[in-house]
Structure 1
């Protein structure tokens, strides 16, 4: 498999540095942020706090949600034991559906993909507190642009006049990062210099390339690695023509209006979970992940916010 590893060049890094000056919280008016940590406060009025008997958990949209219901089953049993509550897996079909469920109060704990985290924070009141990491504490994934071997596309320049599939407009590696990269480094604008398609998920984009439905696609290589490990695809099914710098991976968080005690208990459950011998470890070790570590939105999502700013993203939530 041809692999051309490329870091973001000085032009785009400069663009991100400029954008970072303007990066700040842009919460919906339905939330407050009195402590300045860029996420919604837990309501001070206890009448606005909720302590549901059943907690709803959702993992970021994937091609086959039923697979991940089994992957998360043992963890959700652990979460149920820790909280004393029933915990139900909610198989979301799209980023929009996941966000709407959070915003409407039907979702209490969720893993949002990298690019969707700012939307979930600003529009849905998500309070991110953890991501998956390797045993040594390192974390993250890269955006790759892939194509099928017989496409005739050998470099990013060859995308001119061809088709590039994105996942969804809220995705970091599936849309925002490649859009900023192609614009700044290659002078290419979507739907001007190349055609676009939206697959809905990284799994769909990968399978679309492998089945030659898409000429190329921008995807997260963490998803690629898991699909390779499950033998859904093979290494010779695709070619990588670009690999980005490392980005933070899926963030897990709680709805802002859960009681403080419940939010603390949920966080403790994530950090006390024993991965050994579980389906969660079997699945996510394929992308090098073996534990949950603490994060903050303000610090760990800075690069993602600046990418969004570089793309002119705003959050009109109200």
Structure 2
């Protein structure tokens, strides 16, 4: 079984645990044995042996594969130029097609700097040595997105219970809003089990699910509303093509970071590039300011604190962090 094709089993814990995580312990989380965590921050430490640290001539960067990679290569170009200037390295955009490809690339040493989506972060940290340190937010520090279950007008689905007996589109098993959170919700609050009460299908990416609903290929789908808002802003879909029948609490957005074994001096320069990037007039701002709240700055985060609710959802889902 590959790294991400793990068995996911929804527990019978309440939706308050699965989606709100109020007052409950974090999911049992552990790093792969090849990593160390001496300071207890839940991410892999840089190797103390300098010979095991890497200092590549070209840094490979990948953005989470939620939408068309060709679009995002252009969106990220100004930032990548800034990253190159700050680090003194060449920088190459890696257009990953799936969460699995992105995880395996970092685990194999082919990916150095990346944005991993919300649900993939814990597995990337545990199995690929990913060290997230920042995410996008508004200028006031507001951040986050919600999971929405959407349908199209005239689908016959007007409430979540109507999904019974129909197809339900998810994105991938590592996605928080595209699989894990809605699966916990459907099981615990609405007593709907995949394969028994509805037919689950996997689209691979949020934009595929959103387009599938808009084009009436799927009667319902679970998606990240930040992706949908950007697609509406770009004119990819029209607002009237979709209807929201459920909206979750707010979750953290894509986490950005580097692979643990980067030379510490280089890792520090990568962090500097994110903190000093000028958003004004950039393609990055044009693309991400359409989110709500707008994403127009990089703010510091920690995996230990900001991803606690996601680890709780993983616990509700019975996710294993074993690395194959």
TM-score, normalised to structure 2, is 0.93
How many residues are paired up? 309
- Find the counterpart in structure 2 of residue 291 from structure 1: 297
Q: Are the aligned partners of 1:79 and 1:87 in contact in 2 as well (CA < 8 Å)?
A: yes
Aligned to 1:12: 15
CA distance in 2: counterparts of 1:243 and 1:133, whole angstroms: 20
**8 Å Cα contact 2:28/2:315 also seen in 1:** no
Match of 2:156 among 134, 152, 156: 152
Q: Residue 238 of structure 1 corresponds to which residue in structure 2?
A: 242
Higher mean C-alpha deviation, range 82-91 or range 10-19: 10-19
Alignment partners' CA distance in 2, 1:139 and 1:290: 10
Alignment of 1:165-176 (within 5 A): 165-176=169-180
Instruction: Tell me the secondary structure at the aligned position of residue 242 of structure 1.
Output: strand
**Contact conserved, 1:19 with 1:309, CA < 8 A, in 2?**
no
Paired position in structure 2 for 1:70: 74
Question: Quick one: distance in 2 between partners of 1:239 and 1:75?
Answer: 35
1:309 to 305, 309, 315: 315
**Where in structure 2 are the equivalents of 1:258-297 lying within 5 Å?**
258-287=262-291, 288-297=294-303
Kindly indicate whether residue 52 of structure 2 is the aligned counterpart of residue 48 of structure 1. yes
> In structure 2, what is the Cα distance between the partners aligned to 1:18 and 1:226?
30
Is the contact made by 2:230 and 2:287 (CA closer than 8 Å) also made in structure 1? yes
Displacement of 1:148 after TM fit?
Answer: 1.0
Task: Describe the superposition over 1:98-139 as per-residue Cα deviations: whole angstroms up to 9, x where unpaired.
Answer: 001000000000000100000100010000000000111000
- Indicate the residue corresponding to 2:128 in structure 1: 124
Aligned to 1:7: none
Partner of 2:6: none
- Which secondary structure does the structure 2 equivalent of 1:317 belong to? coil
* Matched residue SS, 1:186: coil
Report which of the two has the higher share of helix: 1
Unpaired runs of at least 5, structure 2: 1-12
Structure 1 stretches lacking a partner, 5+ long: 1-9
Listed one character per residue, the Cα deviations across residues 8-64 of structure 1 (whole Å, up to 9, x for unaligned) are xx9322456489425243111111111111111100110100011100000001331
Matched residue SS, 2:269? helix
The aligned residue for residue 254 of structure 1 is 258
- Distance of 2:48 and 2:17 partners within structure 1: 40
Aligned to 1:4: none
Distance 2:218 2:47 in 1: 46
The TM-score with structure 1 as length reference comes to: 0.95
Question: For residues 161-200 of structure 1, what are the structure 2 equivalents within 5 Å?
Answer: 161-200=165-204
Please provide the CA RMSD for this pair: 1.4
CA distance in 2, matches of 1:66, 1:11: 41
CA distance in 2, matches of 1:239, 1:13: 25
Where does structure 1 differ by over 6 angstroms across 4 or more consecutive aligned residues? none
Maintained 8 Å contact 1:26/1:122: yes
Tell me what 1:59 maps to.
63
Specify the SS of the correspondent of 1:240: strand
